[in-house]
Amino acid sequence: MALILGIETSCDETAAAVYDDNKRRILSNVLATQIDMHSMFGGVVPEIASRSHLEKIGGIVSQALKEATVSLDDIDGIGVTNQTGLMGSLLVGVCFAKGIAWVKQKKLIGINHLEGHVFSAFLGPQGGFNDELQFPYVCLSVSGGHTSLYVVHDFGNYELLGQTLDDAAGEALDKTAAILGLGYPGGPQLEKRAKEVDNADFFHYPRGKVKKDFDFSFSGLKTAVLYDLVKKGAFDLAKGIIKEGLTSELQSKVASSLQVCIADIFVDRLQRVLTLYHLVKHVVFVGGVSANKYITARLQQVSAEKGVFFWSPPLQFCGDNGAMIAFIASYKMAQGQVADFTLDAVRR
């Protein structure tokens, strides 16, 4: 039996979890979000993020152990996100994990945050292992920091088919919501507004041109929205402020058109993958943006049309979390992929 502690501090969530390899179950999953600290700035402020991680990490790890009713002595390995994220934030998690691994003589496993999301697909309701998921599966991982499409053949064996060339989809939603004067994070606000106008496409924003079939580009989207608002007398470009032309109805129509645009882009890529890869058994949607019911329903529909199962893990495992890190760390540890104390944080 192996008990794994997972630590995640790559962006603005301080998270820790315990995974029991024997029971194949997440025993605890604790998280402190920093949304309130960053919302007044309209996005994540790296310096604030790392300072807050530093304050909270000890308490969050203790809480994760307590909720799992285990002590640090019972833990066999410590998985920590050491790559892809904000440097200062990653460093807090890595240094903390190294510290306790050193003192308690535990195995240390460095985890790529994106790999954590890809395999979070195996976390089912109540943290149990999702036995129904089969390889190969297609994984669309979409958050505020990344937008990537994979074919996953096995644990540790996956192909990156495409990714965003600029902004992540969540970032595009957050930035556009900021232009519209809606709060941060923008995704949930935009989803709510879009529903008010029946998720219709009013303004048909550009779907973004890319050279490679499976890549994405979202940076033009916020500019397209911005110039459209200027044209509609709803935004003053010179002063960088909203004008009275930005009615609540217009906000909702923009939100809805944006949501449809992003969903259309995902649907297009998914149709292409499923046409090309006939052996795919499942389509999996992970990352913070998978909280969006409209986008999820659209992807679900394409999967059904192609006769492929669709799955999105419970929300607590979709956004950034420690459970996905503990889970994939258990596989790496079993394969002997443990790190030494030179483990460092890597931004990309």
* Interacting residues toward Zn ion by CB under 5 A: 143, 320
| Residue 341 contacts residue 94 (beta carbons within 8 Å) | no
Closest CA to 29 of 57, 5, 1, 53: 5
Q: Count of alpha carbons within 13 Å of 3, Cβ hemisphere only?
A: 14
Would you say 28 or 147 has its CB closer to ligand KG4?
147
Identity at 332, one-letter amino acid code: K
Query: What are the Cα distances from residue 330, in Å, to 1, 91, 262, 337?
Result: 11, 21, 34, 10
- Which of ligand KG4, Zn ion, none interacts with 215 (beta carbon under 5 to 8 A by kind)? none
β-pairing, 309-311 vs 241-242, is unpaired
Residues 14, 34, 143, 147: which binds ligand KG4 (CB under 6 A)? 143
Q: Which of 124, 186, 208, 322 binds ligand KG4 (CB under 6 A)?
A: 186
Q: Which residue has the tokens 């492929």?
A: 308
In this structure, the strands spanning 235-236 and 241-242 are antiparallel
Contacts of 62 (CB under 8 A, 6+ apart): none
- Written as six digits, the tokens of 214 are 């499976």
Question: Nearer Cβ to Zn ion, position 10 or 303?
Answer: 10
Residue 186 binds: one of Zn ion, ligand KG4, none (C-beta under 5 to 8 A by kind): ligand KG4
The CB-of-150 to Zn ion minimum distance in angstroms stands at 14
Regarding 208 and contact with ligand KG4 (CB under 6 A), the answer is no
Question: Please, which residues bridge with residue 140 across strands?
Answer: 149, 285
322 touches ligand KG4 (CB under 6 A): no
Distance in Å, CB of 10 to Zn ion, minimum: 7
CB of 218 to ligand KG4, least distance (A): 11
- Select from 127-135, 281-289, 322-330, 332-340 the region that touches ligand KG4 (CB under 6 A): 281-289
Whole-number minimum distance, CB 169 to ligand KG4, in Å?
8
Per DSSP, the three-state class of 135 is: coil
Nearer to ligand KG4, 189 or 303 (CB): 189
**Residue 145 contacts ligand KG4 per CB under 6 A:** yes
- Decide whether 289 or 345 has the Cβ nearer to ligand KG4: 289
Q: How far is the CB of 170 from ligand KG4 (least distance, A)?
A: 3
- 93: contact with ligand KG4 by CB under 6 A: no
Q: Does 173 bind ligand KG4 (CB under 6 A)?
A: yes
Q: Which of 124, 288, 313, 322 binds ligand KG4 (CB under 6 A)?
A: 288
Q: Can you state the angle between helices 169-179 and 219-231, rounded to 10 degrees?
A: 20
Q: Quote the least distance from Cβ 117 to ligand KG4, whole Å.
A: 7
Would you count residue 199 as binding ligand KG4 (CB under 6 A)? no
Helical ranges in the chain per DSSP H: 35-39, 46-67, 87-104, 113-119, 169-179, 186-196, 219-231, 248-276, 293-305, 315-318, 323-334
Is residue 185 a contact residue for ligand KG4 (CB under 6 A)? yes
Which of 200, 208, 114 minimizes the C-alpha distance to 166? Answer: 208
Q: What is the DSSP letter of 206?
A: -
Q: Which of helix, strand or coil describes residue 200?
A: coil
Query: Shortest approach of ligand KG4 to residue 313 CB, angstroms?
Result: 12
Give the nearer residue to Zn ion in terms of CB position, either 158 or 205: 158
Interacting residue ranges for ligand KG4, rule: CB under 6 A: 11, 143-145, 170, 173-174, 185-188, 191, 287-289, 291-292, 319-320
